[in-house]
Structure 1
């Protein structure tokens, strides 16, 4: 056991855990005021439930010995983390429990990310049932595919990990997986009442920017911590994460300026997340300059992609598809173009003379995870919707999901009103988060 590596990985695990409350703030600020608590509770609910499932059987399903051709770990091998408590159980230079801790927070945020696609309209109880089923049937197996390398925890691991696909910190298992699931769930639940017609602007942009800042801070643990050691690979991942994220902000803001005539705070926060998503799988395979290139392209692509829901007619409330699915696909596939053998991954991509082999590996891994997640999530969501009902009643949606479902409200409106009940402090953001320049002089409650 190396104490420095252990300290770094445990610190990284705490950083990644902080990302889920950061996501709650990011998502919470983007919804209307009547939905902020429900939105944040969906993240906190995921933390509570997935943390328990991970201890019981999730870690074993993800990292137990393979029982199905690289598709699934043995759920009983480490049930309840049995056999991993002793000091002689190591994963590389780490105590096994440090590795368990680090991987647990990835499972938590992967589930929480999906919630942004169904903001304003999902029953909290149905969400919790979905979160548990989805983690069990989708995330834990996909984590096995991607993160379970042979002889790391158990003798045999997952099919993606064993075939030379590069996904350093979870572009496929986390972002493509959650993005495809968000799309499927948005289709199952249908559009919010008034989608495309009524103002659905973020109610609190400072919350959004605070959440983005916490996400960025925690993401250094997400990416650099995935080295599972305090070494040069972690340092390269850290610098590449910084470079790509900064570049993505610039790419998003430039796109907004050209398209809309103004660069917004919401665009800056969203650009940061887009860059973080894109560099996640690639941070060990690129050099800092190509990380900037990948980041700029991610900012532009995701800024353009968030408008697809209006053109294609699906209501992905907070652009999980436009940011996480598109950003995850780009980041994963970009490795096939921009990977450099000088980076820790040691692979040359197409533009560095490596041919198309790595590009093909990255492409098929990304597509298979996307299709698997979409299809299985659609089935899970449909079953829940047909049995217990996934969507709140229309009247309750109009009234506000916070007061109806949680018997609370995010704000004491009595202290924030003046005159004829008009709410003081109008946000300057466009209708439905990132798109229309039309607006209203009142907060859309």
Structure 2
């Protein structure tokens, strides 16, 4: 978030520096005259204070993050669940709701047990450590750093906020193989993929030592070496273009191929059973996305406001461009197209929300509407996969587009914020669109490759053990009855 995610204020280099001052002062007191020691302690303490301000919590920031975490949860249940549920046939409505709901619960529990620790503690460039298993050592007084020196938020709030991101990412994948996969296979896949794809990608992109560690050029170099792999490379991802959307879309696309096409695909009508539900779900997604993007500033400040406005304007532009393009190509504008366009705009602006100006956000949204329309029609035919609810066509295409365009429109020359220099504590004067674009492309490539490899292995293992698909007669009858013993609608 903000391109990176904070480490803890009490674990940062600034805390280490402060402890060294205390040790040095104590040693001096044992051997030097009292007056001299007092003078040295004052000088050392003043230097430490100037380099490492005391981290404090602002109740307004805490409150903002609580609200944003709740909004992200709303995106999953009921937002994503209803959006997906309306798109499938009525005989599979409950199965999709059940999958999204249960995946959310499953990942939330795993996040508390080990996910948070492996994603957001210092370890190596790809994984954190097991130091905070079951949130060991986290108390109501624990502080997580934000993106401004000396300002923190309660660690418990940050844990919940990030956990909601992890849960909805796994839920997104469900749409790619809806209407034919075993419920048990969904759960096992999510455990494997969450552990070996979501966690390391989140660590690679968002883990760093926090701004208070960047007291000098030398200290910054040391701190950066402890960060995630893609953070060290300089990749920008404000709220999850790579971590959430590309990551999930690739896993979904691989699943669409490996689970196989639905019975009757390309022959039988598989129209959405309730576009009313889909529109309600899309609206809840848009509403919750304000927490997703603006909350990623980790403070209730101007950057959050910028992300908020971009999350309002870009999807609006995308909904219009998708609608107009579809109207031109097909002769009629559709509600499904408008809703899908809004989601495409939300996806494309996610990695850029706090980095690009509103003009840049509007342009990104306009492009995303057309790109998403192509993704769910032209590209889908080229790939030949039965991506049931067009997860790759929207989240993959627009996620990749957003990640790359972030490198372009984050430029101060195009109204963006540029890159923040935490040592100088101001925006860097150097920004190269071409250089940042290459860094963004590397981030996209690493995410695509990592997620694909993990997904292939996970699906193969599941297919060899419990199997991926339900039986053909069960699929024809519908997963609501055959997998869950219920019906969405009892007439």
TM over 0.5: yes
CA contact (8 A) 1:248 1:297 kept: yes
1:390 and 2:390 aligned = no
Q: Distance in 2 between matches of 1:212 and 1:115?
A: 16
CA contact (8 A) 2:418 2:431 kept: no
* Equivalence for 2:380: 309
Aligned counterpart in structure 2 of residue 400 of structure 1, from 478, 486, 489:
478
Matches within 5 A, 1:180-329: 180-307=250-377, 308-329=379-400
Question: What are the superposed Cα offsets for residues 158-210 of structure 1, whole Å, 9 maximum, x if unpaired?
Answer: 11122221100000000000000001111110100111111100000010000
CA contact (8 A) 2:236 2:407 kept: no
CA contact (8 A) 2:122 2:128 kept: yes
1:50/1:152 CA distance change after superposition, 3 Å: farther
* Equivalence for 2:126: 71
Aligned counterpart in structure 1 of residue 101 of structure 2, from 27, 44, 48:
44
1:29 and 2:86 aligned = yes
CA contact (8 A) 1:63 1:153 kept: no
Larger Cα-atom Rg:
2
Query: How many angstroms does 1:396 deviate by?
Result: 0.5
Q: Distance in 2 between matches of 1:355 and 1:34?
A: 49
RMSD: 1.6
Q: Distance in 1 between matches of 2:381 and 2:479?
A: 24
Ranges in structure 1 where 5+ consecutive residues have no aligned partner: 416-445
CA contact (8 A) 2:85 2:277 kept: yes
Aligned counterpart in structure 2 of residue 333 of structure 1, from 404, 413, 419:
404
Q: Distance in 1 between matches of 2:181 and 2:431?
A: 49
Query: How many angstroms does 1:327 deviate by?
Result: 0.7
Give the paired residue count: 406
Question: What are the superposed Cα offsets for residues 260-314 of structure 1, whole Å, 9 maximum, x if unpaired?
Answer: 1111000011001000000000111211111111001001001011122233211
1:11 and 2:67 aligned = yes
DSSP 3-state at the match of 2:229: coil
CA contact (8 A) 1:233 1:344 kept: no
4+ aligned runs moved over 2 Å, structure 1: 88-92, 150-157, 308-312, 340-347, 352-355
* Equivalence for 2:16: none
* Equivalence for 1:429: none
CA contact (8 A) 1:64 1:153 kept: no
Question: What are the superposed Cα offsets for residues 64-91 of structure 1, whole Å, 9 maximum, x if unpaired?
Answer: 1123xx11111x1100001111414333
The worse-fitting range, judged by mean Cα deviation, of 244-253 and 151-160 is 151-160
* Equivalence for 1:127: 186
DSSP 3-state at the match of 1:90: strand
TM-score by length of 2: 0.81
CA contact (8 A) 1:63 1:157 kept: no
1:376 and 2:435 aligned = no
Query: How many angstroms does 1:62 deviate by?
Result: 0.4
TM-score by length of 1: 0.89
Q: Distance in 1 between matches of 2:318 and 2:143?
A: 41
DSSP 3-state at the match of 1:306: helix
Query: How many angstroms does 1:258 deviate by?
Result: 1.4
* Equivalence for 2:157: 98
1:139 and 2:198 aligned = yes
Question: What are the superposed Cα offsets for residues 373-396 of structure 1, whole Å, 9 maximum, x if unpaired?
Answer: 012101101110111001100110
DSSP 3-state at the match of 1:149: coil
Q: Distance in 2 between matches of 1:398 and 1:310?
A: 24
Q: Distance in 2 between matches of 1:195 and 1:399?
A: 15
Q: Distance in 2 between matches of 1:355 and 1:402?
A: 50
CA contact (8 A) 2:357 2:417 kept: no
Ranges in structure 2 where 5+ consecutive residues have no aligned partner: 1-56, 147-151, 214-222, 421-429
CA contact (8 A) 1:73 1:157 kept: no
Query: How many angstroms does 1:139 deviate by?
Result: 0.5
1:365 and 2:421 aligned = no
* Equivalence for 1:422: none
Q: Distance in 2 between matches of 1:116 and 1:355?
A: 35
Structure having the larger proportion of residues in helix: 2
Q: Distance in 1 between matches of 2:179 and 2:387?
A: 11
